[in-house]
Structure 1
Amino acid sequence: MSREPEEIHDPDHEIRLSRVAAIDVAKASGKVCTRLPHPTQPHRRVTLVWDVVSTNELCALAQRLVTDQIERVVLESTGDYWRPFYYILEAHGVTVWLVNANDVKQVPGRPKTDKLDAVWLAKLNERGMLRPSFVPPKAIRDIRDYTRLRHDLVADRTRYKLRLDKLLEDALIKLSTVATNFLGLSGRAMIDALVAGERDPRRLAELALGKLRVKRPALVEALTGRFDDHHATIAAVLLQQIDALDVEIDKLTVIIDQLIAALPPTGTGEDCPPAAHQPSVLERLDEIPGVGPRVAQIIIAETGGNMAQFPTAGHLVSWTKLSPRTMQSGSKTRRGPTGRGSPYLKSVLGDAAAAAARTDTFLGERYRRLVKRRGKARALVAIARSILTIVWHILADPTASFIDLGPDHYATHINKHRKTRSLIRQLEALGHTVQLNPA
């Protein structure tokens, strides 16, 4: 508790403006509100409210805002309806902020209408009481659309694979219990043969390749079932869907690779020019345990690749919603909810953390230390946060590269005297007398 006055510096975005606008976005239209200085009364404002429906009206609105010298326009992030307003206004050179709906909640006691919502949003904008959301530049937005679509298609493909596995289980075909990937080369050949009419489990087991051939006796047992024409018809449909999704996913991957390769080098340091033969961003991110090329692509697409909008690694972690909010009142301090964040970024970070936890690296050892006292879920979140911190340092400095501290980092960096005193106290608490003899 501090008894002396403490100065709290206002963030850069908390600046009062005199010429502002706000748009309450809906599916079919937008309610526009502008607040301008009164021409004759210095301390008064002129508030105008009207609707914008079509694209032509939106282009005319952009021209009007430029003519009125509007300093900033704010939009509430309502679904995806804000996108045409943001993109067209941005293209006309208007400063546009996308704000979180939680920051502009309805005030109790005030009627709820689109007109009043637009006026309230404009007043908040005028008084500098809003925070802008991060909207990446168009090149990153294009990559983000492709990576998100690919992520969704991969999820759809996984659902079709699970349906196929369920169908095989219904036919008493236990292929997934013997083959780790039942749709690998061997498994796919067996399923195609089943669809083609082959029912002899021994002939099906002979289709096994590589290491799976030593499991042929188990495959014979697993392929002995009641697979009939009904199952074959459904399996053929599911396989067609999986193959079609494979083709589309591969196409998107090629496009994403090309777009990311065309991005300019990232980094916030102006005095750190990229060195000759410097590894690409994807190559440097790929050095992190658990982070592969696709995970690195999603990280770049979701964060923008340029860490100028995140002053520290903590800002990036907080924006991703991997750190709990601190809620303090009086002498009580508790942790609040983390929030939602980007589901695509959090999903791949969770996958990367799970993969890193199984490695013999510093991150793997960190997970094994945390899981003992914090549980699996919190330990994985902690590893995801560590990975994101590493990502920030790599993206912020174009010359930085990942160096693993090793799984023995904790063991070689302990305070030996403090550890010795702790062990002595534990033994004495159990009734032993301890005498130390140097080794």
Structure 2
Amino acid sequence: MHPYGVGIDTHSKFIQVCILFRTPGSDTGGIKRLERTFLTTFSDLQRAHQWTLNVLAGLAEPETLRYCIESTGTYHCPVLIAWGGIPSVVNPLLAGPTRRKTDVLDARLLAHHSITGLWRSSFIAPPDLQQLRVLWAQRREFAREATRCTNRIQNIILRFGHTYAARDPIRSTVGRSITESLLLGTAPNCPGVCPGGLPPEVAQVIAGLLSKYDTAKEAAHRALVAARNFIRSRNWPTGTTPMPGTNLLHLLLSVPAVGEVTAITWLAEVGDPKRFDHAKQVSAFCGCDPSLKTSAGKVTSFTRRAGNIRLHSALAAAAQVLMASPSNPFGQYGRSIAGRHKKGGYKKAVGALARRLAIALWHVHFKAEPFSFAGYKFHEQPPVPSVSITAALGSAVARRLAPHGFQKMPDLVDAYRAGKLAQISGIGGTTLDLIREWLTANARQQPKQKDKQHGKKHTTKHPRSSDRR
């Protein structure tokens, strides 16, 4: 337990501050509590900071002041600027609400979290990173507006029997050409075009939406250029020394299937790679770590944490590009995972590839080195005992697999790892589950190398792909 704890509940017009600290000469008990309410003007926030330091005189300094604060929208940002120190920014849903919901009780609970050290210190984005996030959010909003316009156009033309957008989207050259022809009163002889055309009044609505789409698309491009130029004009942190933005972008683009949109999204959301201690934290931040709920030693449910939604979406889109690239080692890895499941294999493969990409981007960013496949060992699999399928899985499974030429477990496991079994008629999910369970129990794991300097497992690294998003 720490000598003191500070909790701050934030709102648009005021903040509630609670301070808990030990009384002199008491190591285990004697906790004293002080509470005050302050307005959210910057001078009042500074006054609240000074009052807290006066109460904790001898226990905390301005640079080392620890406190817990709820992340209520962006209301907590002015407090972070005025207070500095070492904050722990907590999601209100994770703060453990009490039975009665009041500002005073919330501040007390946060102060209790602070004095017990429940939450680790949070990464606070520096001004340059905040500027990049604002620029990138502007581009994202314009892109959403463009998507809304095309979705509305498709909704309208379907009402009048036109289905061509399913084959040629409104954004495409062909789809745009067909749409403009309909606006001129002609129904082109194309698949999915209804001979009835469009009513003049409806054509005017669609023309306005097309104009909005063009405006939003151009604005999104300008925002992309602004974000790119901002990155290039600054130095950005890596695991060692800051690096010019132009060089860092070039390194991030060396990761397979990572294009400019994904690279800028990564930099805007992560900022400093040193905020993560290991790869598991990276995958959790990106929403790529599987979470299992267990009871009595059995898995009761499987879910995936949300993480950073913007970064997760960008990584998932890049993973889908890799799934369509059979010549890429990442793509081969994803296809092998998809082929091990009768249902839902593609979704599982995309999640696994998104995690690979997140860790690859982190290593590239942290080490300031281009991606390389040198450390990956996709084709090195632990050996399995050379036993018959009958002895391993039973005679019923052996009879089902015999017509397909499988007699020994090593051959069957090789086909399973290559993702070929799910495509064979007659081999269902139950058989695949049996193979997976047997493989988990009988694969002979090779000893893992350790990093002599840090005592950590060696992680793999990463190169370049022509596929870009």
TM class, shorter-chain normalised?
0.7 to 0.9
The 5 A counterparts of 1:24-43 are 24-38=9-23
Q: Report the AA paired with residue 340 of structure 2.
A: R
| Partner secondary structure for residue 218 of structure 1 | coil
Corresponding residue SS for 1:150: helix
Distance across 1 between alignment mates of 2:54 and 2:115: 18
Per-residue deviation at 1:112?
3.8
- The partner residue of 2:200 within 219, 229, 232 is 229
1:319 positional shift: 2.3
Percent of aligned pairs sharing the same letter: 21
Would the alpha carbon gap of residues 21 and 421 (structure 1) be closer, same or farther in structure 2, given more than 3 Å must change?
same
Which residue of structure 1 aligns with residue 453 of structure 2? none
Equivalent residue for 1:390, pick from 360, 365, 368: 360
Q: Within 5 Å, which residues of 2 pair with 1:205-354?
A: 218=190, 222=193, 224-269=195-240, 280-304=247-271, 306-327=272-293, 331-332=297-298, 337-354=303-320
TM-score, normalised to structure 1, is 0.76
Task: Work out whether 1:161 is the aligned partner of 2:128.
Answer: no
One-letter amino acid of the structure 2 residue matched with residue 163 of structure 1: R
From 68, 76, 85, give the equivalent of 2:79: 85
Question: 1:240-292: CA deviations, max 9, x gaps?
Answer: 2212212321221122112221332442146xx97xx9972222222333321
CA distance in 2, matches of 1:419, 1:281: 47
Q: Which amino acid is the alignment partner of residue 246 of structure 1?
A: K
Q: CA deviation at 1:421?
A: 6.0
Equivalent in the alignment of 1:184: 172
Q: Residue 332 of structure 1: CA displacement?
A: 4.4
Q: 1:140 aligns with which of 114, 129, 132?
A: 129
User: Cα RMSD between the aligned structures?
Assistant: 3.6
Number of positions where the alignment pairs a residue of Structure 1 with one of Structure 2: 388
Q: Which of 24, 47, 53 is residue 33 of structure 2 equivalent to?
A: 47
Code of the aligned partner of 2:128: A
Between stretches 76-85 and 340-349, larger displacement belongs to: 76-85
Give, in whole Å, the separation in 1 of the partners of 2:194 and 2:374. Answer: 45
How far apart, CA to CA, are the structure 1 residues paired with 2:197 and 2:45?
Answer: 62
Equivalence for 1:8: none
Per-residue displacement from partner, 1:370-398 (whole Å, max 9, x unpaired)? Answer: 11234222221111111111111111111
How far does residue 420 in structure 1 lie from its aligned partner after superposition? 7.2
- Deviation of residue 23 (structure 1)? 0.7
Indicate the residue corresponding to 1:106 in structure 2: 97
Letter in 2 for 1:58: L
1:116 and 2:105 correspond:
yes
Q: Retained in 2: the 8 A contact 1:325–1:337?
A: yes
Counterpart CA distance in 2 for 1:39 and 1:176 is 74
CA distance in structure 1 between the aligned counterparts of 2:10 and 2:163, rounded to whole angstroms: 53
Aligned counterpart for 2:6 among listed residues 21, 26, 31: 21
Asked if structure 2 preserves the Cα contact closer than 8 Å seen for 1:362 and 1:404, the reply is: no
> Contact 1:100 / 1:133 at 8 angstroms: preserved in 2?
no
Unaligned runs of 5+ in 2: 409-469
- Are the counterparts in 1 of residues 254 and 370 from structure 2 also a CA contact under 8 Å? no
Bigger mean CA offset, 261-270 vs 238-247 = 261-270
Q: How much has 1:190 moved relative to structure 2?
A: 4.4
With structure 2 as the length reference, what TM-score do the two structures score? 0.72
Per mean C-alpha deviation after superposition, the further-off stretch among 376-385 and 37-46 is 37-46
3-state secondary structure, aligned to 2:37: strand
Q: In the alignment, is residue 131 of structure 1 matched against residue 120 of structure 2?
A: yes
